Structure 1
């Protein structure tokens, strides 16, 4: 019997204390996964979520660190393996968004977006590629804006285009490992990061774009990530999947 059959599948969710990440943690825990809840700046939120999972009968631990710091992430992965005996699923939701037209964006903001979203994804993917057990899954996060090209999203869309390219390359590099690598690309989703700085008219306009005529919820996006993490998603590999209610 393999490790993944003998024991529950173990998951690490980066950005696990944030909107989509929190929904992913809750759904993975409900499905029986021991879950590591990663945080960068808000330890209290991560520990509160851990307490919630444990209080419901699950297993969870909080792990901190800058996703773009390879030493911090190696230590975080070490902690997960020490706590739970191995690692099967990494859901990388951590990211930042800075919006402005290309002509106006402060290059310091551009550098921050690329550092967190591109380097951070590469660092986490590198650790996942080295450590995930057979039957494992890495789920990265992009954005539907890569295809929709909304104005003011230039830096963010550029960073997520890099995530999509990395995902496709890594899926092929892991041939023979029985590890899947996919990207979830949400459309407009009602998270604090998305809603911040937008007036009601802008939010209403974006909510009206999908044929389903609403914003996505963190739970909508988490459903797809958890599907890709589990046995039903094993034949999906090297894909960028837009979860956006039908926006084209």
Structure 2
């Protein structure tokens, strides 16, 4: 009998690493995609195996036009089928109207929207009936926070993709949902949240007075991936500590 398998993009660090660790704890074989975080992905794979689980690593530059096809081909070679897909990897960059270049805009679209679209296209034949797909969006798709207009637009597009994919895959009982985190103290954000100013700014936006952690997002993703969320489809779940209440 084939072990349940999950693919997590951007699993070498931060939220992706926490998600992969949570799914491994639910006895999934986890395929750990990484872009630049090879050491982190390989260390996590070793950690999972040492804990009695199983994992593979997979490299792809998500900005490349053929990234989705290459990932799907490698997944097919490694396991033949998927029960859970978590499209977590993304690119964040200053991208306000005053400072965003064409190059930055195009790269944000490539990583945050184009590749997730084509990953769903190429991975769809590998998804088992009743599989779960979870995409990681952002609070910036809903609120004008930060100087990140182009980034926010890609995340808004991603949420539209969630609804379209949920409708198209529903005949196979494949659920497609998303989580929308606010500020999370991952490696890339911690230099900000660890400062007094960063902590004060973050907490001023939130009802719950602590800084969000990668595990806060991972636990919601693991829930959406499970049968406990069997009647949730096409939804975007805020994971933001009550930001903006």
Aligned with 1:41 (options 36, 40, 59):
36
| Conserved? CA contact 1:91–1:140, under 8 Å | yes
Aligned with 2:10 (options 10, 15, 21):
15
**Using a 3 Å threshold, how does the CA distance of structure 1 residues 148 and 233 change in structure 2: closer, same or farther?**
same
Mapped pair 1:159 → 2:154: yes
Gap regions ≥5 residues in structure 2: none
**Using a 3 Å threshold, how does the CA distance of structure 1 residues 189 and 183 change in structure 2: closer, same or farther?**
same
Q: Distance in 2 between matches of 1:94 and 1:144?
A: 16
> What is the match of residue 221 of structure 2?
225
Q: Distance in 2 between matches of 1:165 and 1:174?
A: 14
Q: CA deviation at 1:68?
A: 4.2
Q: Distance in 1 between matches of 2:110 and 2:61?
A: 10
Deviations 1:212-234 (A, max 9, x none): 11221000000011111111111
Q: Distance in 2 between matches of 1:225 and 1:22?
A: 12
Q: Distance in 2 between matches of 1:210 and 1:193?
A: 20
Q: CA RMSD in A?
A: 1.8
SS in 2 for 1:136: strand
When normalised by structure 1's length, the TM-score is 0.91
Mapped pair 1:101 → 2:61: no
Q: Distance in 1 between matches of 2:27 and 2:39?
A: 23
Q: Distance in 2 between matches of 1:137 and 1:171?
A: 10
> What is the match of residue 137 of structure 1?
132
> What is the match of residue 22 of structure 2?
27
Gap regions ≥5 residues in structure 1: 1-5
When normalised by structure 2's length, the TM-score is 0.92
> What is the match of residue 211 of structure 2?
215
| Conserved? CA contact 1:15–1:94, under 8 Å | yes
Moved over 4 A (4+): 196-199
